[in-house]
Homo-oligomer: A and B are copies of this chain.
Amino acid sequence: MSIIYCVSELKRPRRTQSERTRASREKILQAALEFFSRDGFRGAKLSEIAQAAGLTEPGLLHHFPSKNHLLMQVLDERDRVNQKRINDILSQEGSHVLDSLHALVKHNATVPGLVQLFTVLVAESLVPEHPAREFFVQRYQRTRSNLVEAIAKAQKAGEIRQDISAEVLGVLLFAVMDGLQVQWLLQPEQIDMPAAFGLFLELVRAK
């Protein structure tokens, strides 16, 4: 029995293959999220991600055929979670959209890593032929149109001033959220993101 065999025994607890596969992919995605957040797409290294997931680089590439594929998987997964949160917020009938958005921003202020992931990747994706560019275009498109719908409802319900275009307000709301994140990530201790966002909300709230 070789040394390699022994090591192997240590590293591979008895499991079914599908369990192993799922567990590995899980760990890889988690590690990728972390490094993409910290270093951006170009800056992150497959070898580091693989190591953090307890694999070698080719081991990682067995599950995700390329760095680009890995990025897209991470984004899809993360976006599903975010999207769910946002849709829950927007679809609550008769609820207070503005308050819910405020809650979202407060929540974001507790997860700088995730916020940085999207802030860095969105900006990186502005360069031509970036693998994630189309992803973000779609994402803004879709989310914004949901938001605009919710705004229109809230205007009818008397929550939001009616003298503002819902379309433009949708654009503005995302702009404020994105823009605040940049300043907050640069100087977390100096920028009170939820407070600033709250002030903006007061400006659009119906009196």
* A residues in contact (CB < 8 Å) with B: 38-40, 42-43, 116, 119-120, 122-128, 133, 136-137, 140-141, 164-165, 168-169, 171-172, 174-180, 182-183, 185-187, 191-192, 195-196, 199-200, 203-204
Contacts and interface: CB of A to CB of B under 8 A. Distances in A.
In the complex, the 8 A-B pairs of residues with the closest C-beta atoms, listed nearest first:
A123-B123, A175-B179, A179-B179, A178-B179, A203-B203, A175-B180, A42-B42, A171-B196
A165 B38 CA distance: 33
A135 to B, nearest CB: 11
A140 B196 contact: no
Given A175-B179, A176-B179, A183-B140, A120 B116 contact: no
A126 B182 contact: yes
Contact of A123 (B124, B180, B195): B124
Contacts of A179: 174-180
A196 B186 CA distance: 25
A62 B17 CA distance: 57
| Identical copies in the complex | 2
A185 B136 CA distance: 11
Q: For the complex, would chain A's binding face be called helix, strand, loop or mixed by DSSP majority? A: helix
A180 B177 CA distance: 10
Contact of A172 (B124, B128, B199): B199
B43 A127 contact: yes
Contact of A120 (B127, B169, B195): B127
21 contacts: A38-B127, A40-B42, A43-B127, A120-B123, A120-B127, A122-B182, A125-B186, A137-B186, A140-B186, A141-B187, A168-B196, A168-B199, A172-B196, A174-B183, A175-B175, A175-B183, A175-B196, A176-B176, A178-B178, A178-B179, A203-B204
Contacts of A141: 187
Contact of A39 (B119, B127, B200): B127
